[in-house]
Amino acid sequence: MKFAVAVSGNKVNGPGESEEIQIYQVNDGKFELVEKYANPALEASGARGIQMIRSAVDHGVDALVLSEIGSPGFNYVKNRMKIYIVPEIPVNEALKMILDGQVKPASAATHEHGHHH
């Protein structure tokens, strides 16, 4: 299973705000960083979260790990992949919580649209 994590300063962040996207491959309960790239949302003039999410879809991931997601982004991927919402915590802690079953896939957006504060 492949996870795309929105990351800023080694902590999980939102799709439109994060500095980079880290792709992790998970096998047998262990996760390995296999790729990272600059978040394309930072160069986007609008729909920034969607730009990040679209790039993750293009990288063939099975799940997103984010600190928040608006309804446009959630609706864009809700039937394509799982979305895990965690606090702005270190990436390794977030992935461990997900793998341990402490975090369930999101069933709704965290906010309607626009930048979340």
Residue 101's region, left for phi above 0, alpha for psi from -120 to 50, else beta, is: left
Answer yes or no: are the C-beta atoms of 12 and 89 closer than 8 Å.
yes
Amino acid 81: pLDDT: 94
Report pLDDT for 46: 75
pLDDT digits (tens, 9 = 90+) for 42-52: 988 777 888 99
Helix (H) or strand (E) holding 92: helix 91-99
Give the residue from 10, 8, 12 showing the smallest Cα distance to 98. Answer: 12
* Cβ-based neighbour number of residue 8 at 10 Å: 15
CA distance 107 to 117: 20
Under-50 pLDDT residues of the chain = 116-117
Q: State residue 111's pLDDT score.
A: 81
